[in-house]
Structure 1
């Protein structure tokens, strides 16, 4: 009965976008504070029997383990999101993420329980990965499918903005305790950002419970066009698109985690900066990204999603070398500028269009599953172990040149992948995609039967 009521009521696009943004910010805050802690405290607290380099590698490995569960989370939440509804899955993922993060903040260290400590840390990180694997797809679809006509790109950027905001919140939380004496920082200070998550999750839960189900999902349910096994159907209809999305997102995700985790450690241990200075660089970069992301989301409604994303992928490629030159300058302004250029500015066009672009690739009956699986495959292939790979490369060659080459290869893959995504370029693509979403939202057109192995027919209004 409640599901029927939920399908008949509507929430304003602004309310849904803000709910997606706040919820995603909280979930990414939870996910990202682990990365910062992995750079600053986990080597000493959970891997004290190893050398500093090995301890850092092991800490970054636990960071990467969380990504291994993300495809499973994408499949699991995608299945029920396409079968039961977007909203319910978002509530479950938020609560699950909060419980895992709270558990980390209360967990004993190696000095207290020995080897069991890193094992428990890894288990909780896997659970985090499972939860966040189902978060992204649902948050994006709720925002995009509720968005008014002609504004899919702008509203779809709100959940994406949650990622840099999550980075900023995570960085601020550690920046606030960075001046504590090392003894206090390592004994109890590092726990505070994890424990604070409980309050943030309560706020996000209240907001998410107040919004209505996605109109596109409600329409599909009413038309009884839901598919039995969304994962099988997604790979049947969109096999190429799933892997192209994975390649497209690769550089955006890798740069974010290199900035948030690896550079915090690199800046303090190699460049010679203070812990607070490296955190400040990430904070400024995250704030710049958060401001620019919705701007480029709005621009994509006119310029076209694929076009704007390609611009971002190309900017990432072109800023890696000058970004590292600034970071290696040894000066705080240079470090901050390098992070801002590579992360804050270059990733913003891609980040702003990710939600709407990736949603448009899939028909609504398998959209949650298809988008989530492609996105999480990319997370394993790229961001999962990027900080560990970068640390290993620097340890092996003694220079950041090896890290730069690694990032350039990743960026080139993304440029190629977005170029191969289906659809045109520029304003024609924007009009075409918008008409598809508008008709779908109005219940006039389902892509389920049409989108097999051939492109969708071009609407009359976009033909020359």
Structure 2
């Protein structure tokens, strides 16, 4: 077996010529011979890729199911008092609660990921997310138990945030720490595919339910089948998906990079303290590198859904697009998100992470200038809205793809889980948690063009961070010590 650095976990170099091929079994099928270069500790890289991608797909499915329900369900069933805008903002506030929990999740799961290992921690994060999402599907509504309903919803949403705070960095490390030399961005692209795949699954299930049961978000029927019981189905389905994810992840072994670090005696007692003591600069840079990505995604998805399906008013209001039609537009656009991830994975390996992301970030800034023309409530059409969504999701794929390589490459192995997780999820508070809320307020108070200005400003901060950051493409994950970007 050969690892990225060419050394076994015992520190002894293993010759590729001794074991050029390895035979393994797939279930009860015939033996399959796999080239040694495609194995990591006897585990096929294909299985590692599937494990990283399936897990993130499930967790993002759970997360996006809530995001969709925060616009279409929860304002009516959990926050019904006051005017519709107030109910929507209250629902979006609980949506943002998960982003407050995510840095805490990265600290909690990061501690065990850096102390115990990547595999065990990833299994735990998947369980927490699955249980919380399943329980959301069983919650009583405001009309049944009063204020207890939104309180329980907030607890479940917080738990989702904790779990996702530990999921992303663990999946990214699973991919990067087992990648072939020179192919880290390509390998790290696979868990990133979990985001668009999870989005497609979550919104696809809601689309099927709306077609089957009927639902008009502009004129909701509280006694109709969708709001009575149908909305619970996407959350209850997560139990089946989590079982599949656990089956895949329990068949993995620990990453060789982490195993070598443990053998060298590099494990620290408190990874969090080590990060803030010696890697604080990487932490700040990594957080702001992610800022534009988060802001872009939650403006183009969660806020755009509420604005696109909102009623038109004398002062502009929303676009008045039927919920079913808008959901179809989003599903089309997210295909461009998924398609761009392999492209940017290839570009980041060929030209470097920094140059690739600088070009994309400038594109995001230019995109912010077109919010007014494309989404003006007085002139926007379904076609212009689709163009807006496609451009946004294309840019999202290009900026999101390299992140699971960039952030882990900033930190040494013994605090990589904690450091990359905190940077990723701290950006979620600055970029994602407040994005739908701020965008809704700006569009209502000053017009939709100011939402574009908001996105442009976030991208400008990311551009500054990228200009400060050094290139990390050629950094060995075993050699990242006191690396200073």
Q: Which residue of 1 aligns with 2:284?
A: 243
- Following TM superposition, by how much is the alpha carbon of 1:395 offset from its aligned partner in structure 2, in angstroms? 2.4
Q: Which residue of 2 aligns with 1:367?
A: 416
Task: Tell me the distance in 2 between the aligned counterparts of 1:274 and 1:394.
Answer: 19
Q: Which residue of 2 aligns with 1:400?
A: 448
| Matched residue SS, 2:182 | coil
Q: Which residue of 1 aligns with 2:31?
A: none
Task: Tell me the distance in 2 between the aligned counterparts of 1:216 and 1:190.
Answer: 43
Q: Structure 1 residue 33 and structure 2 residue 65: aligned?
A: yes
| Matched residue SS, 1:272 | coil
Q: Which has the higher helix share?
A: 1
Task: Tell me the distance in 1 between the aligned counterparts of 2:119 and 2:138.
Answer: 29
Q: Structure 1 residue 357 and structure 2 residue 406: aligned?
A: yes
Q: Which residue of 2 aligns with 1:220?
A: 261
Q: Deviations over 1:363-419 (max 9, x none)?
A: 11111111001111100111012111111222222x112212211111111111122
Q: Which residue of 2 aligns with 1:291?
A: 339
Q: Deviations over 1:107-166 (max 9, x none)?
A: 110011111000000010001101100001100000011111121110101111211221
Contact 1:82 1:369 in 2 (8 A): yes
Q: Structure 2 matches for 1:299-310, cutoff 5 A?
A: 299-310=347-358
Q: Structure 1 residue 209 and structure 2 residue 247: aligned?
A: no
Task: Tell me the distance in 2 between the aligned counterparts of 1:10 and 1:143.
Answer: 16
Q: 2:306 aligns with which of 265, 286, 290?
A: 265
Contact 2:288 2:462 in 1 (8 A): yes
Q: Which residue of 1 aligns with 2:221?
A: none
Q: Which residue of 2 aligns with 1:233?
A: 274
Q: Which residue of 1 aligns with 2:35?
A: none
Task: Tell me the distance in 2 between the aligned counterparts of 1:145 and 1:193.
Answer: 33
Q: Which residue of 2 aligns with 1:3?
A: none
Q: Which residue of 1 aligns with 2:330?
A: 282
Q: Structure 2 matches for 1:308-387, cutoff 5 A?
A: 308-323=356-371, 325-328=373-376, 329-342=379-392, 344-387=393-436
TM-score where L is the length of structure 2: 0.86
Contact 1:157 1:297 in 2 (8 A): yes
Contact 2:367 2:452 in 1 (8 A): no
Aligned length: 430
| Matched residue SS, 1:149 | coil
Task: Tell me the distance in 1 between the aligned counterparts of 2:469 and 2:330.
Answer: 31
Contact 1:312 1:348 in 2 (8 A): no
Q: Which residue of 1 aligns with 2:17?
A: none
| Matched residue SS, 1:347 | helix
- Following TM superposition, by how much is the alpha carbon of 1:323 offset from its aligned partner in structure 2, in angstroms? 4.9
Task: Tell me the distance in 1 between the aligned counterparts of 2:174 and 2:161.
Answer: 21
- Structure 2: state its 5+ residue gaps: 1-8, 11-39, 216-223, 311-317
Contact 1:280 1:336 in 2 (8 A): no
Q: Structure 2 matches for 1:159-174, cutoff 5 A?
A: 159-174=191-206
Q: Deviations over 1:66-97 (max 9, x none)?
A: 11111110011111100100111100000110
Task: Tell me the distance in 1 between the aligned counterparts of 2:329 and 2:461.
Answer: 27
Contact 1:97 1:131 in 2 (8 A): yes
Contact 2:371 2:449 in 1 (8 A): no
- Following TM superposition, by how much is the alpha carbon of 1:191 offset from its aligned partner in structure 2, in angstroms? 1.0
Larger radius of gyration: 2
383-392 vs 181-190, greater mean Cα deviation? 181-190
Q: Structure 2 matches for 1:127-142, cutoff 5 A?
A: 127-142=159-174
Contact 1:152 1:301 in 2 (8 A): yes
Instruction: After the TM superposition, list the runs of 4 or more consecutive aligned residues in structure 1 that deviate by more than 6 angstroms.
Output: none
| Matched residue SS, 1:392 | helix
Task: Tell me the distance in 2 between the aligned counterparts of 1:151 and 1:81.
Answer: 23
- Following TM superposition, by how much is the alpha carbon of 1:52 offset from its aligned partner in structure 2, in angstroms? 0.1
Task: Tell me the distance in 2 between the aligned counterparts of 1:186 and 1:97.
Answer: 23
Q: Deviations over 1:146-190 (max 9, x none)?
A: 111121110101111211221121111111112323411111111
| Matched residue SS, 1:50 | coil
Q: Which residue of 1 aligns with 2:22?
A: none
Compute the RMSD of aligned alpha carbons.
1.7
Contact 1:325 1:338 in 2 (8 A): no
- Following TM superposition, by how much is the alpha carbon of 1:236 offset from its aligned partner in structure 2, in angstroms? 2.0
Seen in structure 2, the aligned counterparts of structure 1 residues 300 and 46 have a Cα distance that, compared at 3 Å, is: same
Q: 1:409 aligns with which of 431, 449, 457?
A: 457
Contact 1:68 1:380 in 2 (8 A): yes
Contact 1:262 1:391 in 2 (8 A): yes
- Following TM superposition, by how much is the alpha carbon of 1:422 offset from its aligned partner in structure 2, in angstroms? 2.5
Contact 1:327 1:339 in 2 (8 A): no
118-127 vs 195-204, greater mean Cα deviation? 195-204
